[in-house]
Structure 1
Amino acid sequence: MSGIVVCRGCCCGSSRKVPQLDHDAQVRRLAEVADVRITDCLDVCEQANVVVVRPSPAGRAAGGRPVWLGLVNQPEAADDIAEWISAGGPGLAELPAVLGLHVFQGPRSARRRVDPRGDPVTG
């Protein structure tokens, strides 16, 4: 099963920064299809809300790597992520074009805080 890291630090998950989104509903939707871990700030506040999709073991074996998604601020975006993961996610299913608009490279500071599989370390 794929895993998802959801940033809920200083800006992500904040109704002050992203008032139009039900942040708890976003996490519940993603948890329907993947293991969700909540983390503190990933140092990309300008990309709030940030979701990192981690490949399943099979996806990793097929070459999949974590995919950083930013500005995940509409309920439909969580649905798009859930559908991609249901299709296999990183390494097994092609990234939908609509999610390609959200992809960005994680910050150097977060990339240094990774475990041996290349996943962000979450507090």
Structure 2
Amino acid sequence: MAAPVRQRVTDPGGPVLALCLGRRCSALRELSGTSGTVEALREAVARTRGAVLVTAGCLGPCALAAVGAVAHRDGESGCSGRTVWLAGVHEGERADALAGWIGAGGPAPDEDPDAGLPVPLVPAVAGLGPPMRLGG
């Protein structure tokens, strides 16, 4: 009997979403009745090939309401590209648009991270930042 052929599984890369779950961002979700948006974003990441969700106790820019940062992650190196920071992602329309964008693959490789943003996320752009530090 022949031995089974093993196929090499490669990481396709994809969007990486850093989502603030700090006290203020969580409270904003509770107060606005959108606490379910976190689960919806988790599900969008889980359904998207190569997507990664990073949650943090506090990402820092509390004056911007609930924040998230999105970048494209290279599958081979595991490094991300530049990051787009989004404010107010506790709002239902923005959270839905973010989940849809992640589900569609998020930022494209080798483009500005805010290229191709869904219309509801355009006013949410709080700035562009350096690549995320993933791993050690």
Alignment TM-score, normalising by the size of structure 2: 0.64
Q: Structure 1: how far apart are the matches of 2:133 and 2:31?
A: 26
Q: 1:121 to 1:64 in 2, by over 3 A?
A: closer
The aligned amino acid for 1:20 is: S
Structure 1 residue 19 and structure 2 residue 31: aligned?
Answer: yes
Q: 2:39 aligns with which of 24, 28, 35?
A: 28
Between the aligned partners of 1:9 and 1:121, the Cα distance in structure 2 is: 19
Deviation for aligned residue 1:65: 2.5
- Listed as ranges, the matches of 1:1-123 within 5 Å are 1-15=14-28, 19-23=31-35, 25-34=36-45, 35-57=52-74, 64-91=81-108, 94-105=116-127, 118-119=131-132
Aligned residues: 108
Aligned-residue CA RMSD (Å): 3.0
Distance 2:99 2:91 in 1: 13
Identity %: 31
Q: Give ranges in structure 2 of 5+ residues lacking alignment.
A: 1-13, 46-51, 110-114
SS of the residue 2:85 aligns to: strand
1:104 partner SS: strand
Moved over 3 A (4+): none
**SS of equivalent residue, structure 1 residue 99:** helix
Distance 1:18 1:28, change over 3 A: closer
Higher-strand-fraction structure: 2
